[in-house]
């Protein structure tokens, strides 16, 4: 059995219960690290470590939430539309399909047109 490094990393990351909890929680709406810590019932330090790994693997995006009093803090949102795991000819390949907002979709389409 052979996999590429990215697929190995993704499968290892998704094998962690806390990562799956964070992904599920942030798929509903953006959450702060404190909110994730409370919802997942784990220490903030654990949340920050998992969130950092998830951002590096494109599973989460970090955004800034501005409160009515003007204060602001980071919130995290699932960046995954769906995952594909393909097993063929002795290899395993994992593809992450990320969500696109309207601006990202427009930029991608415009770039595709320009490159054509």
pLDDT of residue 101: 62
Task: Quick: pLDDT tens for 11-62.
Answer: 899 999 999 999 999 999 999 999 999 999 999 999 999 999 999 988 999 9
Evaluate whether 10 touches 29 at the Cβ level (below 8 Å).
no
φ/ψ of 7, rounded to 5, equals -65, -40
DSSP 8-state assignment for residue 3: E
Number of structural domains found in the chain: 1
Task: Quick: pLDDT tens for 57-80.
Answer: 889 999 998 888 988 899 999 998
pLDDT of residue 1: 40
pTM: 0.74
Residue 39, domain extent: 3-115
């Amino acid at each position: 059995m052979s996999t590429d490094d990215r697929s190995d990393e993704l499968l290892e990351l998704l094998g962690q219960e806390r990562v799956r909890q964070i992904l599920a929680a942030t798929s509903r709406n953006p959450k702060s690290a404190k909110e994730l810590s409370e919802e997942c019932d784990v220490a903030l330090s654990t949340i920050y470590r998992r969130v950092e790994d998830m951002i590096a693997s494109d599973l989460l995006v970090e955004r800034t939430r501005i409160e009515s009093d003007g204060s602001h803090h980071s919130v995290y949102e699932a960046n995954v539309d769906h995952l594909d795991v393909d097993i063929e000819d002795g290899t395993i390949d994992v593809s992450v399909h990320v969500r696109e907002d309207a601006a990202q979709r427009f930029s991608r389409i415009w770039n595709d047109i320009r490159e054509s």
